Amino acid sequence: MASKIVVDGYNLTRSSRASKRLGSLEEEREYLISKLTRYQAIRRIPITVVFDGWQGGYPIETRDNINGIKVVYSKLGEKADEVIKRMAEKWRDSLIVITSDRGIADFVENRGAAVVSSREFEKRMETVSYPAKTGDMIFKDEDYDESMDRPITTKKKGNPKRPSKIERRKRAKLRKL
């Protein structure tokens, strides 16, 4: 099943160091969407970003498509969290949710979706958008090895038992990021 990324928009902009220098919410949204556009162009994974409209939005949920990024504003009186939870109910294990909100993360993980923290995703966006070159060598997906994520130590790995099936599926989805 193909993966989809759903981003908790304001959660990601609040955790972003670069967007803190911007002035208005409109500028923060535009900056985030431009970063997501670059990321989507490289990774080819459908991305939906959800913003709160509960305080000053429209009476209905509004959707837009900006440079291939699906943008959703929750309706007046509804938070983006509820929209993300509905998407998690619908897409379940084909979903990767980007948020640092523990309530959303727990809900979506219980539905089978993978969760990546906002800071971790921001780091991934930076490395994909601006890969560090070592000579002419750039890591590609086929060069990725899960052992690259672990720090190199002299200690033994610990418990040799295999991770659960759910954990292995989650790791496989996260490798696609």
- pTM here is 0.70
Q: Are 97 and 106 a contacting pair, CB within 8 Å?
A: no
Mean pLDDT of the chain: 79
Q: Model confidence over 60-93: pLDDT tens digits?
A: 778 889 999 999 998 888 888 999 999 999 888 8
- Domain range spanning residue 60? 4-175
- Give the CATH number, domain containing residue 121: 3.40.50
pLDDT of residue 97: 93
Which residues have C-beta within 8 Å of that of residue 104, sequence separation ≥ 6? 8, 81, 84, 85, 97, 115
Q: Model confidence over 108-161: pLDDT tens digits?
A: 999 889 999 999 998 888 887 665 544 444 445 554 555 545 555 555 555 667
pLDDT of residue 18: 60
pLDDT of residue 136: 42
172: region left, alpha or beta (phi > 0 left; psi from -120 to 50 alpha): alpha
Residue type, 164: S
pLDDT of residue 65: 92
More reliable by pLDDT, 3 or 107: 107
Number of domains in the chain: 1
Confidence class for position 17, pLDDT limits 50, 70, 90: low
Which residues have C-beta within 8 Å of that of residue 164, sequence separation ≥ 6? none
